[in-house]
């Protein structure tokens, strides 16, 4: 079951996923803005209303109160095991959810699921570890139970039968659909996660649920006559809880490593500024422009992180260039130009010595002075041969240079800068990067 507060294939979270998890954890710890509260209440209200209408409008005798309590409690235990994936969590509740539809009347299941989710987090709510403002979010996550409840009710399915497998497949598909339709708008409003990106994040949860659902169906056959058999799911849930804890530890380590890389990059940025105040402030300006263009071009989180580091460190190699050349008030001669052109190679070499994430960024730094038409340096790359991030940094670097005072000239008027970028679009700069930059400049 995917939730917006969703096992994943990699042994540790990749960089883009780590960024999403970091953002989600920060949101959970932060105060909920009024806009998010309104959206959460509206979404929870829709889910609760649909669950109530489904419960009162469907026919059939529900299970005894004891079995309802048993399944709600078992579901609550399973929902406390969570795997962090991107901007959400994955819960191993499919083992309990599937049998529940055949023991409890399907139309009642969404309400039982909502109650179980509140039960699972009741202690934290009472202790103040979960703010009351987040309670609607918990109710909203019961939306995944609405889809299969509707399908199974419409098909008059009360007992599991292998011959009705197409109905079960349809019910599983409806589960995914309702889960996505409710959570996608919410994650877009509160976190600006686009529906396509949200769907990619949820795909691993969908894959896990689709893999576990047949096991849940086998349990459904056993629980149809002996509901207490659902308790056999608890050892499996416990094992998954162990793996969830191990995964969280690996994610924490990955985030610590990412933080260390960021700290190193910022330290190198301070070194640049200490060596040359203009180059340091220029690099910070290029970072802001680069990130704005990256967002305009919809770069994924990993590319955006690389763009941030490359923009900050694109001139790091200049610490190896003599200051008299860097600060020369007049035009450089051919020999001096050859020396200063080495700064991209020096920057790559410095970052490769650090290795890891920054070592990869070093390759981008090397290409930040290549030209779209192949006339740049140091490798004469052209067009799509140049890494996209390097093309963005190159254009933003030029914009920043033209709009700030340099040792040999004053800043150019904005109209002149725009004209120059347009004139160089398709020769020095990637046209789509120029368009994105001018759209946000």
Q: What is the dihedral of CA 109, 110, 114, 119, to 10 degrees?
A: 10
> Could you say which of 218, 253, 288 is where a domain stops?
253
Q: Residues 79, 205: one domain?
A: yes
Give the per-residue pLDDT at 395: 95
Q: Are residues 286 and 182 located together in one domain of the fold?
A: no
Which pLDDT does position 369 carry in this prediction? 93
| Residue 289 in domain | yes
Q: Does one domain contain both 16 and 157? A: yes
Q: Are 404 and 286 in contact (CB under 8 A)?
A: no
β-strand partners of 237: none
Q: Taking a C-beta distance cutoff of 8 angstroms, is the pair 152, 101 a contact?
A: yes
What are the Cα distances from residue 431, in Å, to 19, 184, 372, 403?
Answer: 29, 33, 9, 20
What pLDDT score does 389 carry?
Answer: 95
Find, among 390, 379, 380, 378, the residue nearest to 429 by Cα.
390
What per-residue confidence (pLDDT) applies to 279? 46
pLDDT the model gives residue 112: 95
Per-residue model confidence (pLDDT) at position 280 = 43
* Structural domain includes residue 262: no
Count of C-beta atoms within a 10 Å radius of residue 181: 13
**In terms of domains, do 210 and 305 share one?**
no
Write out the residue range of the structural domain in which residue 407 sits. 276-440
Crossing angle of helices 165-191/146-154, nearest 10°? 150
> Which CATH number characterizes residue 428's domain?
1.10.3210.10
- Same domain for 283 and 422: yes
Residue 334: exposure state from Cβ atoms within 10 A (0-12, 13-18, ≥19)? exposed
Helix (H) or strand (E) holding 5: none
Co-location of 207 and 60 in the same domain: yes
339 is a domain residue: yes
Q: Return the structure tokens found at 163.
A: 């011959």
Q: Into how many domains does the chain fold?
A: 2
Q: What is the DSSP letter of 409?
A: B
Q: What is the pLDDT along the chain (441 residues), one digit of tens a residue?
A: 544 443 333 333 344 555 666 655 555 555 677 888 888 899 999 999 999 999 988 876 667 888 999 999 999 998 888 776 655 566 788 999 999 999 998 999 999 999 999 999 888 888 877 778 888 988 998 999 999 999 999 998 888 999 999 999 999 999 999 999 998 888 888 777 788 888 887 887 788 788 889 999 999 999 988 999 999 888 988 887 787 777 777 766 666 556 655 666 666 656 655 544 444 455 678 888 999 999 999 898 788 888 988 888 888 888 787 877 777 777 778 888 888 889 899 889 988 887 777 888 899 999 999 999 999 999 999 999 999 999 999 999 899 888 876 655 677 888 999 999 999 999 999 999 999 999 987
Shared domain check, 311 and 199: no
For residue 378, whether the previous peptide bond is cis, meaning omega lies within 30 degrees of 0, is: yes
Same domain? For 226 and 126 the reply is yes
Is residue 402 within 8 A of residue 411, CB to CB? The reply is yes
- Specify the pLDDT at position 329: 72
The reply to whether 145 and 22 lie within a common domain is: yes
Q: What integer pLDDT is reported at residue 204 of this predicted model?
A: 75
- Does 292 reside within a domain? yes
Same domain (yes/no): 233, 288: no
Asked, for residue 166, whether it belongs to a domain, the answer is yes
Within-domain flag for 267: no
Same domain membership, residue 426 and residue 291: yes
Domain identity same for 303 and 393: yes
* pLDDT recorded at residue 142: 93
> Would you say the pTM of this structure is higher than 0.75?
no
Q: 264 lies in a domain?
A: no
Q: Does 261 map to a domain?
A: no
Task: Give the phi and the psi of residue 394 in degrees, each rounded to 5.
Answer: -55, -50
Query: Quick one: pLDDT at residue 27?
Result: 55
């Amino acid at each position: 079951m995917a939730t917006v507060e969703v096992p994943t294939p990699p042994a540790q979270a990749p960089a883009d996923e780590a960024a999403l998890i970091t953002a989600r954890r920060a949101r959970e710890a932060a105060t909920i803005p009024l806009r998010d509260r309104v959206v959460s209440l509206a979404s929870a209200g829709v889910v609760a209303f649909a669950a109530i209408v489904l419960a009162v409008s469907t026919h059939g005798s529900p299970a005894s109160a004891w079995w309802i309590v048993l399944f709600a409690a078992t579901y609550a235990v399973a929902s406390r095991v969570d795997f962090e994936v991107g901007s959400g969590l994955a819960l191993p509740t499919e083992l309990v959810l599937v049998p529940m539809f055949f023991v409890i009347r399907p139309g009642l299941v969404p309400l039982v699921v909502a109650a179980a989710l509140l039960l699972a987090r009741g202690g934290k709510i009472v202790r103040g570890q979960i703010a009351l403002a987040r309670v609607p979010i918990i109710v909203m996550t019961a939306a995944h139970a609405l889809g299969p409840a509707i399908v199974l009710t419409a098909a008059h399915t009360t007992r599991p039968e292998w011959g009705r497998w197409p109905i079960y497949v349809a019910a599983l598909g409806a589960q995914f659909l309702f889960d996505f339709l409710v959570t996608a708008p919410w994650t877009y409003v509160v976190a600006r996660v686009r529906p396509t990106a949200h769907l990619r994040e949820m795909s691993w949860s969908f894959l896990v649920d689709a893999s576990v659902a047949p096991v849940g169906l086998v349990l459904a056959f056993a629980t149809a006559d002996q509901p207490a058999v659902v308790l056999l799911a608890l050892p499996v849930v416990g094992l998954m809880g162990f793996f969830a804890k191990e995964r969280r530890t690996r994610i924490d380590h990955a985030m610590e490593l990412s933080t260390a890389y960021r700290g190193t990059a910022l330290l190198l940025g301070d070194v640049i500024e200490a060596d040359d105040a203009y180059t340091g402030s220029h690099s910070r300006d290029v970072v802001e422009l680069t990130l704005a263009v990256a967002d305009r071009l919809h770069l994924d989180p990993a590319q955006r992180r690389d763009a941030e580091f490359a923009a900050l460190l694109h001139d790091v190699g200049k610490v190896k260039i003599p200051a008299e050349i860097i600060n020369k008030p007049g035009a450089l001669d051919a020999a001096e130009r050859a020396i200063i052109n080495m700064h991209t190679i020096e920057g790559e070499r410095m970052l490769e010595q650090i290795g890891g994430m920054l070592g990869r960024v070093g390759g981008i730094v090397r290409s930040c002075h290549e030209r779209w038409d192949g006339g740049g340096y140091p490798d004469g790359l052209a067009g799509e041969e140049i890494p996209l991030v390097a093309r963005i940094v190159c254009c933003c670097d030029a914009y920043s240079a033209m709009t700030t005072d340099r040792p040999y000239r004053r800043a150019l008027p904005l109209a002149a800068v725009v004209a120059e970028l347009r004139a160089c679009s398709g020769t020095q700069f990637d046209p789509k990067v120029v368009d994105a930059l001018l759209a946000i400049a």
